[in-house]
Amino acid sequence: MSGADPTSMKAMSVRLPEEKAAELAAIARTDEMPVSEAVRLAIDNHIAARREDKEFQKRLKKRLEEDREVLERLTE
């Protein structure tokens, strides 16, 4: 992710309890990376895990179909 074009990145805010923020900062320092990179890595790992989760994929496909039905009704 560190080679990503900054103009193609979306800025987001995340609120964390102080204890979690301190833990995240300590982990990032130990791994010698910025906190933002540690967050991006955690998000990448979460997305990868969801892609492999068969139950999540079932729910995602159901949601996609429900959304498709609504969007099709709106175009009529």
- Residue 1 scores a pLDDT above 60: no
pLDDT digits (tens, 9 = 90+) for 17-75: 999 999 999 999 999 999 999 999 999 999 999 999 999 999 999 999 999 999 999 99
Our measurement of the distance from residue 23's CA atom to the centroid of its chain's CA atoms, rounded to an integer in Å, reads 19
Q: What is the pTM of this model?
A: 0.78
Give the dihedral sign, CA 37/35/51/11: negative
Q: What is the pLDDT of residue 2?
A: 54
- Residue 3 scores a pLDDT above 70: no
- Kindly write down the DSSP assignment for every residue of the chain, as one continuous string: -TTS-GGG---------HHHHHHHHHHHHHTTS-HHHHHHHHHHHHHHHHHH-HHHHHHHHHHHHHHHHHHHHHT-
- Residue 5 scores a pLDDT above 90: no
Candidates 69, 8, 14; CA nearest to 61 is 69
List the domain boundaries for the chain: 17-74
